[in-house]
């Protein structure tokens, strides 16, 4: 499950606090406490890296959408007016002709 970056700031801060507590547990004399700390640190790192990856994907999708929007608006700005002029000239010409 991907981390939710819309969480309140204190929730993200608690992840950092959990990491610090796990690092402190590494100083423990018992092997089981150190193993639990290593497992905890690995989980937090994985969660953080997955969250950062998801965040980067979200930013890249937003960037791509924005660049596509800008490209399409630029292409609309650079539309050749010649077809419209040709159409209006053709209409004017046919209006001036009188058919019996």
36 is a domain residue = yes
pLDDT of residue 70: 76
Task: Tell me, yes or no, whether 63 lies in a domain.
Answer: yes
- On whether residue 3 sits in a domain, the answer given is no
Q: Indicate the pTM of the whole model.
A: 0.44
Is 2:54 a contact under the CB 8 Å cutoff? yes
Residue 33 lies in a domain: yes
**At 6, is the secondary structure helix, strand, or coil?**
coil
Number of folded domains in the chain? 1
Residue 7 resides in a domain: no
Statement: residue 1 has pLDDT above 60: no
Question: b/e per residue, 54-79, with b = 16+ CB within 10 A?
Answer: eeeeeeeeeeeeeeeeeeeeeeeeee
Instruction: Flag whether 46 is in a domain.
Output: yes
Give the residue carrying structure tokens 């608006």.
73
Inside any domain, residue 89: no
- pLDDT for 78 equals 58
Place of tokens 């929007």: 69
Q: What is the domain extent for residue 36?
A: 29-72
* pLDDT tens per residue, range 5-25: 555 555 566 777 777 788 787
Reported as a single tens digit per residue, the pLDDT across 34-87 is 888 888 888 888 877 777 788 788 888 888 888 888 777 666 555 555 666 666
């Amino acid at each position: 499950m991907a981390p939710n970056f819309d969480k309140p700031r204190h929730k993200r801060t608690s992840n950092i606090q959990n990491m610090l507590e796990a690092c402190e547990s590494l100083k423990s004399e018992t092997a089981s406490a150190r193993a639990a700390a290593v497992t905890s640190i690995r989980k937090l790192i994985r969660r953080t890296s997955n969250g950062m990856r998801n965040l980067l994907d979200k930013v890249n999708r937003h960037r791509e959408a924005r660049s596509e929007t800008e490209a399409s608006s630029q292409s609309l700005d650079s539309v050749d007016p010649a077809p419209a002029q040709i159409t209006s000239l053709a209409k004017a010409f046919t209006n001036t002709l009188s058919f019996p």
